[in-house]
Amino acid sequence: MKLTNIKQVEDFIAAVNRAHSNVWLASPQGDRYNMKSALSQYIALGALLGQHGDELELFCDSKQDEGLFIEFFVHHPEV
């Protein structure tokens, strides 16, 4: 799932925190940020809110967790 224009950071982090397995953001350059790590969250959110925010893709290790983010996208279609 490609992310663009994320402004609902708190809702996004809440979805990450509810996930049971790892959640990743990946850049086209091959960088992968594990969103379950607090340090990676800060780095990835800086990228999301910065100039390259529309280039990151979201991946979940568990199909079950993908439903959390589908719900997030339904509530925030601009993302």
- pLDDT tens sequence across 26-77: 888 888 999 999 998 888 888 777 765 667 889 999 999 999 888 988 888 7
Among 5-9, 20-24, 43-47, the range scoring the smallest mean pLDDT is: 5-9
What span, in angstroms and rounded, lies between the C-alpha atoms of 61 and 52? 23
CB of 52 closer than 8 Å to CB of 27 = yes
The long-range contacts involving 69-77, CB below 8 angstroms and separated by at least 24 positions, are 69/1, 69/15, 69/23, 71/15, 72/8, 72/11, 72/12, 72/15, 73/1, 75/11, 76/8, 76/11
Banded model confidence at residue 5, pLDDT cuts 50, 70, 90: low
- According to the model, what pLDDT value does residue 60 have? 94
Return the pLDDT at 49: 72
The Cα–Cα gap between 79 and 1 comes to 10
- Residue 22: per-residue pLDDT: 95
